[in-house]
Structure 1
């Protein structure tokens, strides 16, 4: 699945959280479109499975390749080294998909343990900033740099019991918006993607009583997000809502 008209041949794409869920299928579909995908995740087994699928597709079509990077995004110096390694090998980065994130816990805010709150902020916010800092110079060297930062409607709804996750995504969206404003006169396009409710492990953790078959598969949502990496994209500083298949400003409707 993916946009058969999208050509990412010779594009270098970095995807975090690529071992499962939406990140896995974005990485797989970008490779199918011709990209060389730098797949980052903690889970080595998931990365190896992704690599096997990309290799199998390449044998049939001749398209796509992957470089696997087992990395826990709490390793801030590791994120810094990643940017340096990309520069040394390719001299640029064409696409960033900042997808990795954790839910934390669904709980009254006063009951959230400090270590849980700190982990949500570290993975969802601090590591995203560190990643942006590491690869921003590389994206500027691309003829059509594209940054896609995964967000959530939780950033706007501020539902009860979702405080840590909602706060982290609100922070990520604000960083994304500022980054887009800083680069609006460049070739780099920076946008956020709100996937909506999706059949993933994180969704199952958040809503254990929900029937997952009522939700779109992660591959379907990945296919909707994929065009945000197109060199032809002109939009910047917006949110793409995959559930509704539409672009919106940061002032979302009620």
Structure 2
């Protein structure tokens, strides 16, 4: 069985994240890393491999700049077998629709039985790429799963809601996405880190996927950022020295804010 896990290289949420002048995320002045939510997808692929009696090959796939290879290396050190990096100067500014196009072309070129995605990226947090990818591939989608199993040519999963859990299944090939409740991602061992250096990493350009430059990037984007402003600095709160007037001042504050 061939499993493809889509992963994304994202700016560190603990860093000073900003937009560039063209409305895209500034990736040059902040450290990046493998999206935490994609680590759960890698973990589920590894668990399927460990529980399967058949041979399973796990390919991690990313679209992004040169530094995105760091995300692939992290996934390889966790235990994935090979990696594919789609990199091209014309990718800059690609939105979710363009990303789903490139991923679909790359998945088809790599070959697959099951595609596993994280529920969303930690930078864009749109959560739409798994569904878009399934539509482009023309296969079933089973999204937001807390548990994933593969048995008898079917992918079976559990989706947990606020009031109930659903059991969902689809025939392979299929696309699934997993939540952060699907199981803690393993930490790469020293042996895994060393082994990752010898695992194959292929680099593909748009021409390898038969995609025209105008279909992706800022030129082909359906969504763009028109304007952005920094979050206002946090101001000091009002301190009330209670001299038998605290209750009245609190009531006046709540009234001004229309809470009462």
Normalised TM-score (structure 1): 0.31
Greater helix share, 1 or 2? 1
Structure exhibiting the larger radius of gyration computed from Cα positions = 2
Greater strand share, 1 or 2? 2
Normalised TM-score (structure 2): 0.31
